[in-house]
Amino acid sequence: MNRQLIAPRKRGIDLGKRPEPLLGDRPITGDRYWDPAFAAAEWRGIWTRTWQVAGLERQVREPGDFLTAELGWESLLFVRGEDGEVRGFYNVCQHRGNRLVEAEEGSLAAFTCSYHAWRYDLEGVVREVPDPGDFRQGSPCGRLRLPQVRTALFAGFVWFNLDPGAPPLADYLGEVGEEIATYGMERMVRTHWVTVEGDFNWKCVQDNFNESYHLPFVHPQTRFMMNCAGTEHQQDLYPTGHARIIIEGCRPDARWSGEAARIEAAMREELAFWDLDFERFRANPLAMRAALQQAKRAKGPEKGYDFSSYTDAQLTDHFHYTIFPNLSLSLKPDGCIFLRANPHPSDPAKCLFDMWYFTLFPKGAKTYHCQTMREVVSIETPAPHLTGRWPEVSVGEAIDQDVRVWTGQQKGLRSAGYRREYLPWQERRVRFFHETIDRWLAA
């Protein structure tokens, strides 16, 4: 079985500050974002060697259930076999190379190629072809099979790695895997599923999720609901190349704590859900965070939540993980935002950007008001996959604010007037990210 046994830490997350790695000062130049030669090196050095998410385990619950995933020009097929195992394959017919499965998900007893009707079983083996006696080299039935791809199941996701010799997912994720495991994401439901094509390199996305310096300016609304002061955020840079940042939530930034009306508007719904009145905090809104932690502890069970495995900070704060190379998870006990930047198959100045939102429905609840997405979601309506070009298709108000700046940044990165970055200390994860890229490219 390819399930990864990554045990959650028993007493919640280790909040301790990790040692700072030594970082260099090599320029992060613009060509990294548009040069096809650099993109080709990334394909060989990173995309074909790192663990990636294909989709959700929920999509492949029963034998015959399948999903497909794209990475660059590759399409991969993941199928639950009769034996319960989820297997991954290159989605390419072994006759003359047609793409075997076009659908994104579904359930089938066998896969039949649309070109000459070769038929594959759930284990990827050719079982039926027209005129099997006409092959002078022998019938392909039982002899040819779809090339297999390493697959693992963890946190409700199907993961894959194109490198047959890659270390197991548990080693790849390291302690970040144990921290993610505490959130029980497999119990959450994907309530938003959006993919947009945008005019920026995938690293514009990951750079952005690696720093909080932009928060109060690109997302002015955050000033009233979290501590945006980047110099006060705890950042942990793990030897695996992954990183986390912890941002205190359910409180305004001290620089804007006098704006009671804006704070009230930003926090009203969450306070009301937990039976708290803003009047208590009008004079001192910084006190909201601790009060909300206590309210969630006290009232969690009656509201349908079990928060017993979480530390107080996890109840209010933003635990944002950047998982190398292209995934970000912002985790809360009642939901998680999944943000991913996939490389465009042919143009390094474009990107396929995914926003998935996962909701943990309180026990017995069929609908839920999602604070992060600011809308009511239903457990009975599976999220449809919205796809298209940005901005025709939106990824939600807050993330659209980020997409807007990546689009402008990509233009500047192509200019002869851009020489290199000039980073404050609080943006050191951006440097760490690029040094991790260089490490993979050199290996």
Cβ-based nearer residue to ligand FES, 120 or 324: 120
Options 109-117, 243-251, 284-292, 385-393: segment touching ligand FES (CB under 6 A): 109-117
Which residue in 47, 66, 118, 368 binds ligand FES (CB under 6 A)? 118
What is the size of the binding site for ligand FES (CB under 6 A)? 8
Q: Which two tokens stand for residue 275?
A: 């039976």
Can you tell me the distance from the alpha carbon of 166 to that of 172, in angstroms, rounded to the nearest whole number? 9
Contact 136, 166 (CB under 8 A): no
- State the residue for tokens 């997409």: 403
**Among Fe ion, ligand FES, none, residue 65 binds (CB under 5-8 Å by kind):** none
- State the residue for tokens 């309180």: 362
Which residue in 20, 109, 110, 115 binds ligand FES (CB under 6 A)? 115
Q: How far is CA 129 from the centre of its chain?
A: 40
**Among ligand FES, Fe ion, none, residue 288 binds (CB under 5-8 Å by kind):** none
Can you tell me the distance from the alpha carbon of 58 to that of 35, in angstroms, rounded to the nearest whole number? 38
Can you tell me the distance from the alpha carbon of 205 to that of 211, in angstroms, rounded to the nearest whole number? 11
What's phi and psi for 276, nearest 5 deg?
-115, 145
Q: Residue 19 half-sphere exposure, CB side, CA atoms within 13 Å?
A: 4
**Among Fe ion, ligand FES, none, residue 96 binds (CB under 5-8 Å by kind):** ligand FES
- Of residues 366 through 405, those in contact with Fe ion by CB under 5 A are 402
**Among ligand FES, Fe ion, none, residue 69 binds (CB under 5-8 Å by kind):** none
Give least dist CB 97 to ligand FES, A.
6
**Among Fe ion, ligand FES, none, residue 243 binds (CB under 5-8 Å by kind):** none
Cβ-based nearer residue to Fe ion, 236 or 402: 402
Give least dist CB 82 to ligand FES, A.
23
Which residue in 9, 26, 44, 96 binds ligand FES (CB under 6 A)? 96
Q: Which residues of 298-317 are buried (b: 16+ CB within 10 A; e: fewer)?
A: eebeebebebebbebbbbbb
Options 31-39, 92-100, 229-237, 309-317: segment touching ligand FES (CB under 6 A): 92-100
Cβ-based nearer residue to ligand FES, 114 or 367: 114
**Among ligand FES, Fe ion, none, residue 402 binds (CB under 5-8 Å by kind):** Fe ion
Options 82-90, 112-120, 387-395, 400-408: segment touching ligand FES (CB under 6 A): 112-120
Peptide bond into 220 cis (omega under 30): no
- 39: amino acid identity, one letter: A
- Of residues 39 through 78, those in contact with ligand FES by CB under 6 A are none
Residue in 423, 429, 193, 157 with CA at minimum distance from that of residue 320: 429
Can you tell me the distance from the alpha carbon of 133 to that of 136, in angstroms, rounded to the nearest whole number? 8
Can you tell me the distance from the alpha carbon of 202 to that of 39, in angstroms, rounded to the nearest whole number? 10
Which DSSP letter does residue 145 get?
A: B
Contact positions vs ligand FES (CB under 6 A): 93, 95-96, 98, 113, 115-116, 118
Contact positions vs Fe ion (CB under 5 A): 402
